[in-house]
Amino acid sequence: MKLLLNLPQFKMSETKLNPPILISNNDDGIRCERYIERQYPQVPRGMRHKFFRTKKIAVFREGKRLKIEKSLTLHKRDELKIFFQPSEFGKKKDTKKYINFDAVLKNPKLKKTKILFEDEHCFIVDKPAGVAVHPGSGIKFGHSLIDYCVALMRNKDPDAPEPKLVHRLDKDTSGLVMIAKNDGFLRKIINLLQSGNIQKIYKTLVKGQLKKDSGTITEKIARREERANGGGSKYTKISINAEKGKDSITHYTVEKYFKHLDASLIEVLLETGRMHQIRIHFASNHHPLAGDQIYGDFKWNRELQKEWKLKRQALHAFSLQFIHPETGKKIYVESPIPEEITSIYR
C-alpha cells in the first residue's frame, strides 16, 4: 500500500510508555531543543539532534502538527510527543543532587545577598561584590548567585522550575539583579529589556572632573576572544572600535565632584547593555572607575586600596524600574550604595 505522507513509522513499543506532554505556563517561550535537553539530560546531545532529524519529536498546536526544528519556540498548551525511550539511555540525572542546598544557603558570601522584591514570577536581589552571577571561569557550581536562587526556590519546593538570570553584573560589581522564576516571565521581561522599557541606573566613582555636568557617550564597543600569550585559556577583550564595534549608549549625570580626591560621583543610565560598557566608556574618556583592575588607573587604584581598602571597581547597580509584564504594576527597586564606596568620599 502506497503511503500518502512521507512520515516516519514507529513501533507501538516506542510510543506506549510516552504519554503526550502538555507545555505549561512556566515553559512558555522555551526553545524545543532546550526543553528536550532539560527534560531528558541522560540522552546524549548527538542522539537528541538525530531525534530532531528523524522526526522522533513532534509538537502539536491546536491539533495541528508543526514543522519540527531545534529552534522551534514552545508555547503554553502545546502538546509534545516523543517517539523514543529515554529509559534506554539510563536513569534521568537529578541535577539537584549535585548541589548541596543547605551548604549554598549557609555560604557566607552568598548569605549577604538580600531579596528586595519577590513575587511568583521573579526575584530582584541586591548582589554583594565578589559574588559571580553564574558558575564558570573558576566559579564552581554551588558558589554563584543563580545557585543561591535555585537553593532558595528548591528549599521551599523541590519541583520548582529552574530560575534564570534576566541580566548580569560583573563579579566585582554590586547591586540589583533580576532573576526570572519561569520561562514565560523570562521571555516577556527580556522583550521589555530589549525594547528599552526597563530603566537601569548605576552609581560609580570615577577619576577626575568631567567637563560637562551631564552628557552621553556613544563610542562603539567591540569584543573578541583571545588566548593569553598565544595559547592557553581564552579571555574576552573589550575595546572601543568605530568600525567593528556595536552601538553603545551611556547617559550620565555628575552628582558631585570631590576636590580632595580628584574624583566624581556619577549617576549612569544605560541605553544599551554591552559587556563592561560603563567601565570602558569612562576609561576611554580619561575618567576610569575607581578600583577598576582592567581599564583603570593602576597607580590611583593602589592609593585607594592602601588608604580606603578598596579592592574592586566602584560600580553599583542602584535602581531598576519597569512595568511588570504580568501584573501591569509599576515596579521600582533601589539599593543603597555600599559603605565600601561611600566611605571613600564621605
What sections of 157-236 are H helices per DSSP?
A: 183-194
| CATH 3.30.2350.10, the chain: domain bounds | 103-180, 199-217+249-345
Among candidate residues 28, 170, 183, 292, the one labeled active-site is: 170
Dig out the grid coordinates for 327 from the structure: 501584573
Q: Which of helix, strand or coil describes residue 151? A: helix
Strand partners, 199: 321
- Lowest-confidence range among 9-13, 59-63, 207-211? 9-13
pLDDT band at 8 (very low <50, low <70, confident <90, very high): very low
The pairing of strands 199-207 and 263-270 is antiparallel
Q: What CATH class does 12-89 carry? A: alpha beta
Domain made up of 103-180: CATH architecture: 2-Layer Sandwich (3.30)
pLDDT of residue 122: 97
Helix (H) or strand (E) holding 269: strand 263-270
CATH T-level fold of 199-217+249-345: Pseudouridine synthase (3.30.2350)
Mean pLDDT of the chain: 86
Question: Is 28 a residue of the active site?
Answer: no
How crowded is residue 127: how many other Cβ atoms within 10 Å of its Cβ? 25
Question: What average pLDDT does the segment 154-174 reach?
Answer: 89
Answer for the pair 179, 144: CB distance below 8 angstroms, yes or no.
no
| CATH 3.10.290.10, the chain: domain bounds | 12-89
- The reported pTM is 0.73
192 against 135, higher pLDDT: 192
Q: State which of 16-25, 31-40, 202-211 shows the largest mean pLDDT.
A: 202-211
Q: What type of residue sits at position 26?
A: N
